[in-house]
Structure 1
């Protein structure tokens, strides 16, 4: 057995070390000190996946050490996980070990929790899930008070729901989010909240000139996590996302938060570049009049690969670029071209994954 614990005494120094490395890496483009947004030192992860290791007829949670993918180690505590996750983990494991139907050929367990106290547990199998499994899983669901989801090859068994409900308090207002299992959500809830608050602050009144009549374009909007709280800073907002699940969630979240100035369309960043350049029309934009927008700001939060060359050239036309990145290396590559037209006015470090080398950044770039 092992306890997955971290040395919280080291955290302040680790964060400072990250800030120093980031400052050095970005020194070619800015003299600004990064604004630091620390994570809670423990219980910061809202979602996690564990391998289920079977030995001697007993199932245990297991993880892999970095670089050792064939040597799982068994854990019985996961202090970086949310408090709710840590409450649920032993209860789920006990139920699995008390039921051959739940334990047999179970190879993974996923926990998705929220700051507002909701949870979803996904059990993943190397077998077909039948009605007997469903009955056992329903019993466990009743015991836990939270939904269970079953998955196996080409099979998804939803007993109650396949999502959690999150509520985030941002600048005195509460925003509601439906977060669907399997789609992207921010793993660190407090850092997510800090990121939204920083982005709202960086947007100011929406256009930077005081009259508040600018519009926002967001690429890679996901379920509307950033889009919805930012919408009140702008006259109109157009957001794009390629995932159908995320688009559907975003549209539900827009309605649930009673946002009336925001439209989401299912387009990739490359497709939107073609659309705004009038290279070709898209039926998905049939109800959107692109010429009616006065885009003052573009928000991009791309995957680790960063912005492709055409998208990078397209966003460089905007007066203000809000660029949130989960990979400083590709953001730095994009800055080689973006800083030809823009200067960096805000610079932030979001410590999404403390005790690791991972760093996430936020930049506000303004036209020179």
Structure 2
């Protein structure tokens, strides 16, 4: 458990991460990764707390992974965004003063943006009725936030169920809808660095881009400015709907979005089986020069690795350097690393986010 949060400790931890990534990539490249630092505090745009009740009072609580029974009671969370820290005492004071808001409240979730928007979700072990909604509406207005109440079988939305983020890539601002419950990058500053690195690594192309695991279009939007057109896939309905809204909000018309898993797309491109969701997509019209992947921690499965092998360039963002190295090993007989980077998405943890550009030789 980390107890030293000094600038020196942060730099040492970052150096250790670079060493580890170097060791994993050394069998494939002599290149040193470009390192992108994070702010040491107030970098996390999402936070989730249990609510711990003691007598008449209740507290924000978190737990040590090694001890799930002893709560760590909090008033502030220095790694969370400044907006989360501003909202924490005001929200707590509101539920402490309202039996309707506090009764059987067990969890609070915050979602904020670099652009200053906030969404709070309150989770309950009881049904929520009109009295709760009236109290929640007053609270949302007072705090200037969107507010959601959740209980079993219920989801009550006060105001809006998403936040809107603004991120700058190569001097252009992109707008992103980020819904409650959908995946978003937790470290906004480093996310913006990742987007700019991927934009630079892709370069100006005169062919097309295939993107797997596109989420809400986080990378899709800026990368679409570098190619003729994009075919992007995502399996989550929530993320697909957010991505569609983001295409419209940014006036981007060269992206075709399809709700397919990476495995299903592999089957479609290999002619194994047809998919109705591809009925209006002319796959033969694409001239793919690059495939972009940002897979889950498990990395790409064997079949997806074989699919991406056919592309001249593979732009790969990874949240797990071990599975990244395993995937590179599978591709090493056809592709070599020409660029690599370390993104410190998760300061004060051992987690490493990495990026590599692999090009066919």
Normalization by structure 2: what TM-score?
Answer: 0.98
Aligned residue in 1 for 2:286 = 293
Where do residues 12-23 of structure 1 align in structure 2 (5 Å cutoff)?
12-23=11-22
Q: Is the 8 A contact 1:5 1:78 kept in 2?
A: no
Give 1:87 deviation, angstroms.
Answer: 0.4
The 3-state SS of whatever aligns with 2:304 is: helix
Q: CA RMSD for the aligned pairs?
A: 1.1
Aligned residue in 2 for 1:264 = 257
Aligned residue in 2 for 1:358 = 351
Aligned residue in 1 for 2:76 = 77
Give 1:24 deviation, angstroms.
Answer: 1.3
The 3-state SS of whatever aligns with 1:228 is: helix
> How many residues align structurally?
359
The 3-state SS of whatever aligns with 1:78 is: coil
Q: 1:123 to 1:5 in 2, by over 3 A?
A: farther
Aligned residue in 2 for 1:309 = 302
Structure 2, unmatched stretches of 5+, are: none
Give 1:85 deviation, angstroms.
Answer: 0.7
The 3-state SS of whatever aligns with 2:76 is: strand
Residues 52-88 of structure 1, C-alpha deviations (whole Å, 9 max, x = no match) = 0000121100001132112111011111010111100
Give 1:5 deviation, angstroms.
Answer: 9.1
Distance in 2 (CA, whole Å) between partners of 1:167 and 1:91 is 25
Residues 239-284 of structure 1, C-alpha deviations (whole Å, 9 max, x = no match) = 0000011001101101110111111100000000011111111111
Structure 1, unmatched stretches of 5+, are: 207-212
The 3-state SS of whatever aligns with 1:123 is: strand
Distance in 2 (CA, whole Å) between partners of 1:46 and 1:151 is 21
Distance in 1 (CA, whole Å) between partners of 2:180 and 2:63 is 23
The 3-state SS of whatever aligns with 2:248 is: helix
Distance in 1 (CA, whole Å) between partners of 2:232 and 2:4 is 39
Distance in 1 (CA, whole Å) between partners of 2:259 and 2:54 is 46
The 3-state SS of whatever aligns with 1:122 is: strand
Normalization by structure 1: what TM-score?
Answer: 0.96
Give 1:127 deviation, angstroms.
Answer: 0.6
Residue in structure 2 matching 1:327, options 317, 320, 323: 320
Aligned residue in 1 for 2:154 = 155
Where do residues 80-159 of structure 1 align in structure 2 (5 Å cutoff)?
80-159=79-158
Residue 248 (structure 1) aligned with residue 249 (structure 2): no
Aligned residue in 2 for 1:186 = 185
Distance in 1 (CA, whole Å) between partners of 2:222 and 2:138 is 38
Q: 1:5 to 1:107 in 2, by over 3 A?
A: farther
Distance in 1 (CA, whole Å) between partners of 2:284 and 2:114 is 40
Give 1:27 deviation, angstroms.
Answer: 0.9
Residue 349 (structure 1) aligned with residue 342 (structure 2): yes
Distance in 1 (CA, whole Å) between partners of 2:72 and 2:353 is 28
Give 1:160 deviation, angstroms.
Answer: 1.2
Distance in 1 (CA, whole Å) between partners of 2:123 and 2:220 is 32
Residues 153-211 of structure 1, C-alpha deviations (whole Å, 9 max, x = no match) = 111001111100101111111100000000000000011000000000000112xxxxx
Aligned residue in 1 for 2:208 = 215
Q: Is the 8 A contact 1:6 1:80 kept in 2?
A: no
Distance in 1 (CA, whole Å) between partners of 2:75 and 2:7 is 19
